[in-house]
Chain A
Amino acid sequence: MAGYDIIVIGGGLVGGAIAWGAARLGARVALVDEGDVAFRAARGNFGLVWVQSKGADMPAYAHWSRRSAELWPGLQAGMLAATGVDVALQQTGGLAFCLSDAEMEERAALIARMHNASGDIGTRMLDRAELRAMLPAVGDAVAGASFCPIDGHANPLKLLRSLHAALLRAGGDYLPNRTVERIDHQPGMFTLHAGAERLTAAKVVVAAGLGSARLAPMVGLDMPVTPLRGQIVVTERVRPFLDCATHIARQTDEGSVLLGDSHEDAGFDTSTGVPVARGIAARNLAVFPLLKDANVVRVWAALRVMTPDGCPIYQHSESHPGAFAATCHSGVTLAGAHALALAPAIVAGQLPESFDAFHPHRFQLQPA
């Protein structure tokens, strides 16, 4: 008999949410985490629960993101009940700023297209006067914004910590400092090789971020993921001026302001650099002139886990039944859905038809 019902490989936000979501249903779960040699996207996350522009070209992704936003309060409550950790979820809406009339038109077209393809979630365009009424801190360079009432934000580090703690409380095992080198399969059982250690389970979930590209083919899965670097600039704590989420800045419950939204193809290099930080600061100063008096206390970089079309991959192996894979670049946004919708499907042993759109065979389809 296998040692576990489910082994999840990858102790980040995706793996952590799936592991806790399965353990709370009674599954015997181990979460295998590589260690500080891993790229650990979950440690660098910006913390948005962001729905408004997700899945513009894939309605299934739009609906999945919305479902996750709906499930998020349940995840927050679950973390608080199991661990006493408040992950500081604030679903107070989200703003994406436009700095010109052309950007306003482009954004309005995107919102209209998503409305038509995926349904209305209340996202609307605000002109400068409407935006100022909502958020007096915006500067004159801002022409307006799109506002989505179901967007929000949370503290990703507290979420990660509480997912691990909640897994233990639910009877699961967290096994750090294990690099999985090999996965063997016999009917009904997977054997993971990590150094001299052997771990067995009836099911295995590959949720190892950038490490999934190497692990997935061992069990007939395909995870063509590549890194995309993002840098984040953090200010000292300041009095609250920004309670909603925005695509370039968010203010935490304790007052720090996180500034971000940089995108760099830098391979596996996680270093920071002044030119990108300067660009992040300049863009945010245009939107929030009051930030000129905020001291910067930290800058960090992390690697997003990107698929070829930017949408998540969920897959159940055809050749190795019981092997699943999950990846996305929105580990916070999708944490609610991963814990409370994907994990139950994995426990049941099948991904419902609604997951078909996320299968990686979409990357092999030839255009008509």
Chain B
Amino acid sequence: MRSIPTGSSFSRLDDPRAELRFSFEGRAMVAREGDTLAAALLAGGAGFFRATPVSASPRAPWCMMGVCFDCLVEVDGVASRQACLIEVREGMRVRRQHGAKAL
């Protein structure tokens, strides 16, 4: 599988909001209260979010508004969550989604 470089292309503005802690692939991450999960992962340099079911192509968010489904991740054991449509909560455990969801 191709890899997407890690390290974030995004830097935060001065932000007075409280910090929240969560994990991505077992790695400790920091978000600000009210961040969408997709925004926090992008800011934290998460790299790719999912690998597609048919060609295993690595993907990251594209539309950030609930349409493209390229931000799908597994949140607290539940697959196919759209990271751009949910807010980060303290202690959230997030993993990449590899291929199709298992039922």
CB A106 to nearest CB in B, in angstroms, measures 30
Contact B99 A239 (CB under 8 A): yes
Interface size on A, residues (CB 8 A): 13
Residues of A within 8 A of B54 (CB): 237, 254-255
Residues of A within 8 A of B101 (CB): 236-239, 293-294
Determine whether B45 belongs to the interface, using a CB cutoff of 8 Å to chain A: no
Determine whether A241 belongs to the interface, using a CB cutoff of 8 Å to chain B: yes
Contact B80 A239 (CB under 8 A): no
Determine whether B66 belongs to the interface, using a CB cutoff of 8 Å to chain A: no
Contact A290 B103 (CB under 8 A): yes
Contact B53 A237 (CB under 8 A): yes
Partner of A241, one of B53, B80, B103: B103
Tell me the A236-266 residues at the B interface (CB within 8 Å).
236-239, 241, 254-255
Determine whether A291 belongs to the interface, using a CB cutoff of 8 Å to chain B: yes
Residues of B within 8 A of A241 (CB): 103
Closest B residue, CB atoms, query A253: B54
Closest A residue, CB atoms, query B103: A290
CB B84 to nearest CB in A, in angstroms, measures 15
Residues of B within 8 A of A238 (CB): 100-103
Classify the secondary structure of B's interface with A: loop
Tell me the B69-98 residues at the A interface (CB within 8 Å).
80
Tell me the A114-170 residues at the B interface (CB within 8 Å).
137
Determine whether A177 belongs to the interface, using a CB cutoff of 8 Å to chain B: no
Interface membership of chain A positions 222-247, coded 1 if the CB is closer than 8 angstroms to chain B and 0 otherwise:
00000000000000111101000000
Given A254-B54, A255-B53, A293–B103 Cβ distance below 8 Å?
yes
Measured in the bound complex, the distance between the Cα atoms of B53 and A290 in whole Å is: 19
Measured in the bound complex, the distance between the Cα atoms of B56 and A254 in whole Å is: 12
Measured in the bound complex, the distance between the Cα atoms of B101 and A321 in whole Å is: 56
Residues of B within 8 A of A255 (CB): 53-54, 100
Contact A295 B80 (CB under 8 A): yes
Measured in the bound complex, the distance between the Cα atoms of B101 and A290 in whole Å is: 12
CB A166 to nearest CB in B, in angstroms, measures 24
CB A287 to nearest CB in B, in angstroms, measures 13
Of the candidates B101, B102, B103, the one having the most CB atoms from chain A within 10 angstroms of its own CB is B103
Measured in the bound complex, the distance between the Cα atoms of B100 and A239 in whole Å is: 5
Measured in the bound complex, the distance between the Cα atoms of B80 and A293 in whole Å is: 10
Interface membership of chain A positions 288-328, coded 1 if the CB is closer than 8 angstroms to chain B and 0 otherwise:
00110111000000000000000000000000000000000
Residues of A within 8 A of B100 (CB): 236-239, 255
CB B100 to nearest CB in A, in angstroms, measures 4
Residues of A within 8 A of B102 (CB): 238-239
Measured in the bound complex, the distance between the Cα atoms of B103 and A239 in whole Å is: 7
Tell me the B36-81 residues at the A interface (CB within 8 Å).
53-54, 80
CB A79 to nearest CB in B, in angstroms, measures 20
Closest A residue, CB atoms, query B55: A254
Measured in the bound complex, the distance between the Cα atoms of B103 and A137 in whole Å is: 10
Of the candidates A137, A236, A241, the one having the most CB atoms from chain B within 10 angstroms of its own CB is A236
Contact B53 A254 (CB under 8 A): yes
Closest A residue, CB atoms, query B81: A295
Partner of B80, one of A137, A236, A290: A236
Measured in the bound complex, the distance between the Cα atoms of B102 and A294 in whole Å is: 9
Residues of B within 8 A of A239 (CB): 99-103
Tell me the A52-110 residues at the B interface (CB within 8 Å).
none
Measured in the bound complex, the distance between the Cα atoms of B102 and A262 in whole Å is: 27
Residues of B within 8 A of A237 (CB): 53-54, 100-101
Closest B residue, CB atoms, query A257: B103
Seen from chain A, the residues whose Cβ lies within 8 Å of a Cβ on chain B are: 137, 236-239, 241, 254-255, 290-291, 293-295
Please list the 4 inter-chain residue pairs (A to B) with the smallest Cβ-Cβ separation, ordered nearest first. A290-B103, A237-B100, A237-B53, A239-B102
Q: A239-B101, A255-B53 are in contact. List 20 more A-B contacts (CB 8 A).
A: A137-B103, A236-B80, A236-B100, A237-B53, A237-B54, A237-B100, A238-B100, A238-B102, A239-B99, A239-B100, A239-B102, A239-B103, A254-B53, A254-B54, A255-B54, A290-B103, A291-B103, A293-B103, A294-B101, A295-B80
A/B interface sample: 6 pairs, CB < 8 A: A236-B80, A238-B103, A239-B101, A255-B53, A291-B103, A295-B80
